[in-house]
Structure 1
Amino acid sequence: MIIRFDQTQEFDMKNLTTLIICSLLFISVTSAQWSTDPASPQSLGNGIQAQVAATSDGGVYVAWLTDGNYHVYIQRLDAAGEAQIGAINMLVSDNNNSSWIAVYHLNLAVDGDDNAIITTVDERTGIWEVYAWKIAPDGSMLWGEDGVVVTAFGASNMSPRLTVLPDNSVVVTCTHNNNTVLFQRISSDGTLLWGDGIQIEDNNASLVSPQPTVTMEGDVLIQWIRQTGSPPYYNSELYLQTYDLDGNPQWMFPIVAAGPVVFPMGNWSQ
């Protein structure tokens, strides 16, 4: 199967992760199967920041933002390319958003029950906060139409990323107040498990762009970037720390995996 996003560039299924940074969405549900002609791709409509995540039955979820107002949409396609969430794509969120913030902060994953998990930021409260949605294969909003409020601090929260744990709970990380790492675990039923979240602070540096992943032992490995100096000549170091399911650090000190290097190693789309 080939998914085509513009007139010059093609992606096969092995390169689906590169779709995260593509600018136009041209996957289709208008016919009952995937197009076999790269010159005539099927189309879901116009959009930006399209993301794809595979399901266990050979299908995919596709999530994207509309260009201009940056509303969040999703569709599930089966292995034959047929739409499974109605004939019209499903609106997840139409909350207010700023352009450059919205474009780089949409995330999509699939849990062990083939539910889609989406995280992003929006400005429904007047400031950038992080929200998460869980969407069943039939389009049901399992965490409510407004999603789970991951952050509610009255300070900017950006660059969210997520990972799904073996028990179908979800860990979401973000950059809090432009200089602090914040992360939260959400149970499969949408309950926040770590209070107001766990923060990693450094009085002598800015900590930005955290990303979570699951270790072989089922713990959570979090990566972040520690930056000192002034832009654009940051001294950047890549840090790692592992946390158990109660949010307790497993190493006495974080590990410096790379750096320092004198350039801004992190960005909001990494």
Structure 2
Amino acid sequence: MTARRLRAPFAALTLPCLALSSLAQWNVDPAENLKVCGATGWQTVPKLAATADGGCYMGWFDPRSGNYDMYIQRYDRFGHPQFAADGLLVSNNAQNSSLVDWSLIADSSGNAVLVFTDIRAVGDLDVYAYRIAADGTFLWGPNGVTLSSNADFEPAPKAAELSDGSFLFAWARIPSPGDGVIVMQKVDAAGTPQYPGDGVTTTVEATRDQGFCSVVAAESGKYIVSWLRDISTFGSPRHIRCQKFNSDGTPAWGSHVSVFDATSVPIAYDPILRSDGAGGAVLGWHRSSANLFASFVQHLDANGLELFPHNGAEIATLPAGQHHMNPAISYNAASGETIVIYSEQTSNQAQRGVRAQKLSALGARAWGDSGVELRPVDTNIEDFIRCVPSGAGGAIAMCFDAPTGSVVQDRVVAFRLDVNGNLTWPGGERILASQLTDKGRLPVVADGSGGAIALWEDNRNDVTSSVDLYAQNVNANGSLGPLGDLNCDGDVNILDINAFTLALSDPAGYAIAYPDCDILLADVNGDGSADILDINPFIAVLAGS
């Protein structure tokens, strides 16, 4: 294939491409990344939600005004920001200086849905929800929807869009005195609460508090909620409960399912809950027994039946004497298999590594009792392990690592596994953020094309008094930046045509002409090769489709 023959399809594209944006976008350089917010102070508790068009929403608490305000930013699939620099102000209502967790999702119409707590009413935490359109319009009014109004402690609300187009919000209510419960409120698309008062609740358990809830959608407007039972004291026997609720808020499974009641999960632990896409749910957690942590997964079907052994399928039993903890899961609805990425640690937790396991639809360990190694156990401390689906049954894993041994000198590293547990990227991994800085949080989402997007806190600009937010994408083939940006100028436009042509016709010549660029950005169709099959997808990217 000659360069002359490759250039022909692009002749008619010149005029349409002139209008393409030249804004900042996904960075090809892991030493730079995409700066999400660099306002004064410590931007914190960031959240990330993928949109169906390959873009995403990002949200965070921001102290630039002297109050922890709520901000969001929207990015298109190229990493172009859609709102003002440093984000769109959602709420500047009075906020507690001691923040609790919150939730951000992208709905099926491309809107952002947020639920968080603040002290705007009477000085205690109440729950509020907002729905923000892709153009920044406040669909539920400038102050959102009030979900609760009382004097009780109500932390960490969660959100899910239901199959009927409504939204379910769930949170813990812990009165003093009294027994804590999980509260649920359904809100229709217009922002009108559907349950009376502050909502419906789980069944009260005398002398027991309930907390750390999660929610996923099920069939026919139903939803599944998980929570921890008994979080009242340090020594409480913290067990995992789960219940499906009908659209009207009544229990669908009769009594709740005791997913884990063998020993106790750690204090302040938040188990994983994922939808299985068929009316059931997959849960993941770790627990300690005989001074060693072990990790487990359970799959509940649409009727609440445990498909794995009671108290879960253990993801690894070897090497003996090691901790297997901090699991992150990716569920494959087509096969019923679950990929689990987890931390392997020495008994004193001084050395750590990263491993992966796949559980079959029956809970069997498909990759052996010790799983597969992504990183060996050593003094390079990996933390904040994440996992999202990628491709046909594969997964992308991410974490922080500390190659110097200092946990305030982190990088962001990613791995991609295929359905058989093989690492698919050259060298086995990809560094997404190479600056050795103190980093935190690390929410990660799949981008809908086999790649992933990560967001994190980073003190690279001020190590003493300020933390900014940075983000990075990684494509399914391991390249960084927007596919098609072959001249690495931070944009995809007609200036990439010659570089794209050179990449396909003369890879060695491309490497000489663009030594700092990644030829894998020419693999626009994501099949693992840069070839003529990428021409039409490249044209589509240029045309903005």
Provide TM-score, normalisation by structure 1: 0.81
Matched, 1:246 2:248: yes
Contact 2:220–2:247 at 8 Å: present in 1 too?
Answer: no
- Rounded to whole Å, the distance in 1 between the matches of 2:268 and 2:227 is 9
Work out the CA distance in 2 between the residues paired with 1:138 and 1:192: 24
Residues in 2 aligned to 1:128 and 1:215: alpha-carbon distance in whole angstroms: 29
Per the alignment, residue 260 of structure 2 pairs with 258
State the alpha-carbon separation in 1 of the partners of residues 135 and 126 from structure 2. 27
CA 1:187 to 1:112, structure 2 compared with 1: closer, same or farther past 3 Å? same
Letter in 2 for 1:254: H
C-alpha distance after superposition, 1:145-189 (max 9, x if no partner): 111001112222112111111233111111112512111111111
Report SS of the residue matched to 1:158: coil
How far, CA to CA, are the matches of 2:270 and 2:71 in structure 1?
Answer: 20
- Matched residue of 1:140: which SS? coil
Counting aligned pairs with the same residue, the percent is: 28
| Contact 2:127-2:147 within 8 A present in 1 as well | yes
Within 5 Å, which residues of 2 pair with 1:209-228? 209-216=212-219, 218-227=221-230
Query: 1:241, 1:249 within 8 Å by CA — same for their partners in 2?
Result: yes
Matches within 5 A, 1:26-175: 31-46=23-38, 47-67=43-63, 69-87=67-85, 89-100=87-98, 102=99, 104-125=100-121, 126-175=123-172
Larger Rg computed on CA atoms: 2
Question: How far apart are 1:219 and its partner, in Å?
Answer: 1.5
Q: Residue 215 of structure 1: CA displacement?
A: 2.1
Q: Which whole-Å CA distance do the structure 2 matches of 1:263 and 1:173 have between them?
A: 21
Deviations 1:72-116 (A, max 9, x none): 10111111211212445210011122233x2x3221101110110
- Provide the alpha-carbon RMSD of the alignment: 2.2
Aligned partners of 2:36 and 2:86 also within 8 Å: no
Residue 240 of structure 2: SS of its match in structure 1?
Answer: strand
Deviations 1:15-36 (A, max 9, x none): xxxxxxxxxxxxxx99432111
Q: CA deviation at 1:260?
A: 4.4
Instruction: Report the Cα distance in structure 2 between the residues aligned to 1:260 and 1:152, rounded to whole angstroms.
Output: 37
Are 1:105 and 1:269, in contact at CA under 8 Å, matched by a contact in 2? no
How far did 1:221 drift? 0.6
Tell me whether 78-87 or 105-114 shows the greater mean CA deviation. Answer: 78-87
Distance 2:244 2:265 in 1: 26
Q: Is the 8 A contact 1:235 1:261 kept in 2?
A: yes
Q: Is the 8 A contact 1:207 1:225 kept in 2?
A: yes
Q: Does 2:234 align with 1:237?
A: no
Partner of 2:418: none
Name the CA distance, whole Å, in 1 between partners of 2:59 and 2:76: 15
The Cα shift of 1:204 comes to: 3.0
Distance 1:66 1:234 in 2: 34
- Distance change in 2, residues 1:158/1:30 (3 Å): farther
Which secondary structure state, in structure 2, belongs to the residue aligned with residue 162 of structure 1? Answer: strand
How far residue 236 of structure 1 moved from its aligned partner, in angstroms, is 1.2
- Kindly indicate whether the alpha-carbon contact (under 8 Å) linking 1:31 and 1:42 is maintained by their aligned counterparts in 2: no
- Tell me the amino acid that sits aligned with residue 127 of structure 1: D
1:117 shift after superposition:
0.3
**Would the aligned equivalents of 2:234 and 2:267 in 1 still touch at CA under 8 Å?**
no
In the alignment, the residues of structure 2 paired with residue 72 and residue 79 of structure 1 have an alpha-carbon distance, to the nearest angstrom, of 23
The whole-number CA distance in structure 2 between the counterparts of 1:260 and 1:151 is 34
Structure 1 CA distance, aligned partners of 2:235 and 2:84?
50
TM-score, normalised via structure 2 length: 0.42
Number of residues of Structure 1 aligned to a counterpart in Structure 2: 239
